[in-house]
Amino acid sequence: MPLQSEDPEMKEASFEATFVSPISSMISLICILFFSFLVRKSCGVDDPHFLRCRVPQNCGDGQNITFPFFIQGTQQQNYYCGHPGFPISCNINGQPTFTIVDSNYSIHKIFYQNQTLRVSNAIFSNSNTDCIPFIKNISFPLVRFELAPKQSNLLLLYNCSNSSALPGDLQFYDGCYGEKVLALSEEDPKLEDVSIECKTRVVAPVEAAAYGGENHDEIRGVLGNGFWLKWKANDCSNCEDSGGICGSMLDNNSNYRFQCFCAERPHHVRCSIPGQFSLSILFSQASARNGLSKCDFS
């Protein structure tokens, strides 16, 4: 039986399919590698500031130290994780402290939502005695802090004489250096009589609702409980809501500017602009349709 000759057109089509198939596969592979590279750059966590600052640090008491504060002198955090004007130190008790002028203050609680913190003079945290220590007048750097509302001033008067000019119903407290101390509210009518007889006068902010002026233990307790400060720094909510980490960087004029550290690079306000085209979003949508894993931004 004679063999049928092969159709030339079929032979040519087979040859073209054999030739085109490897080329198509190579082009597809190149496209996949190219877009995979772009996606990795879009989805990857490459910014060193973001990597360094995204893990909150603490002194040991469980309070997270984040923008505008940073723990100075540690490898885990640097000034760019916060603002250079808000350095935090850790005392031997694992409590965060900071310095205002030349006095140390212990931080009891930080509320990042409304930018307030409760602090007290660190001398009350470091002393186990029941005496009233000598403290200095507090002077706030107004560019960084201000007293929160509903605070009151407790006046501590040291080195008071025992002259008959002083009212007889005054309550004296034992100072830590053998002196007698008076503690009066700034609204106390007796203040005018004793101001002349007491050599040293210190204004100590306290919570308005905490002071009743009853006894020694209450006075020291109110002073140790501290007062509320409100700090002045950039609002971090827009950056955090976009997945960023707030921090600071030097600009071309050597001034520190607020930065929103994002996975790929720093931004001025937030990591993404609503409605802006994003390759990572496009890839995530395509990956979801094809059963691939999405980018991990955690």
pLDDT one-digit tens code per residue, 47-73:
888 988 888 889 999 999 999 999 987
* Best mean pLDDT range from 132-136, 157-161, 252-256: 132-136
| Residue linked to tokens 């706030």 | 140
| Token couple for 237 | 């909510």
Name 61's Cβ contacts closer than 8 Å, sequence gap at least 6: 94, 95, 96
Residue-level pLDDT at 212: 53
**Distance between the two ends of the chain, CA-based, in angstroms?**
73
Name 294's Cβ contacts closer than 8 Å, sequence gap at least 6: 284, 287, 288
| Residue linked to tokens 């002083």 | 166
Comparing CA positions, the residue from 23, 36, 74 lying closest to residue 53 is 74
Residue 258 has phi, psi (to 5 degrees) of -60, 140
In the chain, the amino acid numbered 85 is G
Residue-level pLDDT at 240: 93
Q: What angle do CA 92, 96, 99 make, to 5 degrees?
A: 100
Look over the chain and give the mean of its residue pLDDT values, rounded to a whole number: 76
Tens digit of each residue's pLDDT (9 = 90 or more) over 72-110 = 876 556 778 998 889 999 998 899 999 988 889 999 999
Confidence of residue 278 (pLDDT cuts 50, 70, 90): very low
Name 267's Cβ contacts closer than 8 Å, sequence gap at least 6: 239, 244, 259, 260
Of residues 261 and 180, more confidently modeled: 261
Lowest mean pLDDT among 61-75, 90-104, 166-180, 236-250: 166-180
Contact of 211 with 102, CB cutoff 8 Å = no
Residue 175 is classified by DSSP as B
Residue 253 confidence (pLDDT) above 50: yes
Pairwise CA distance, residues 156 & 261, whole Å: 46
Pairwise CA distance, residues 239 & 247, whole Å: 10
pTM across the whole model: 0.71
Q: What angle do CA 92, 97, 100 make, to 5 degrees?
A: 140
The strand pairing partners of 262, in sequence order, are none
Pairwise CA distance, residues 163 & 161, whole Å: 6
Pairwise CA distance, residues 265 & 42, whole Å: 10
Residue-level pLDDT at 256: 85
Residue-level pLDDT at 184: 87
Residue 46 confidence (pLDDT) above 80: no
